[in-house]
A = this chain, B = another copy of it.
């Protein structure tokens, strides 16, 4: 399973009328609290990987994200499993993993055609739009990417607006400046 994602900065008040116009369906609103972990044996910032525990509605999910697969979108291999938060943090600590940073956001999720549209309000960072298609394998990557940029084009957004920096990187960047 490959998650093909493009993220841009966007005022949500500008996006909502468009979503309404195309008949996008509101799926859910989630408060997501994400903790990222650093490995004791390789530097995830350099290898472009991430290991995260996301907690929402009392449930926790452990997610591994592999390196980005191309240079424009945010496509990655991704594996995730439900876990029990406190115990899985203890396991990660015992294995030598440590907290690298935290990202808190409110995410509104819409379904528009075959695209998942997220309006993200990120604590300390502002408002973003993330569009996503889930593909079965890498052969569908190009077509899915083109489809996402066609969608963004209708909002006046293009490849130049695409942000490949993760929320975590932005949060850490803010902390050091």
Contact = CB atoms under 8 A, between A and B. Distances in A.
27 contacts: A39-B41, A39-B95, A40-B41, A41-B96, A42-B96, A49-B94, A51-B91, A51-B95, A62-B88, A62-B91, A63-B91, A64-B91, A64-B94, A64-B95, A77-B94, A79-B87, A79-B90, A79-B91, A79-B94, A80-B87, A80-B91, A81-B83, A81-B84, A81-B87, A81-B91, A82-B83, A83-B83
Interface string A93-108: 0111000000000000
Contacts of A39: 41, 95
A64 B77 CA distance: 25
Residues of A contacting B: mostly? mixed
Interface of A: 39-42, 49, 51, 62-64, 66, 77, 79-84, 87-88, 90-91, 94-96
Contacts of A88: 62, 81
Contacts of A64: 90-91, 94-95
A54 to B, nearest CB: 14
A42 B95 CA distance: 9
A134 B49 CA distance: 37
Nearest to A92: B64
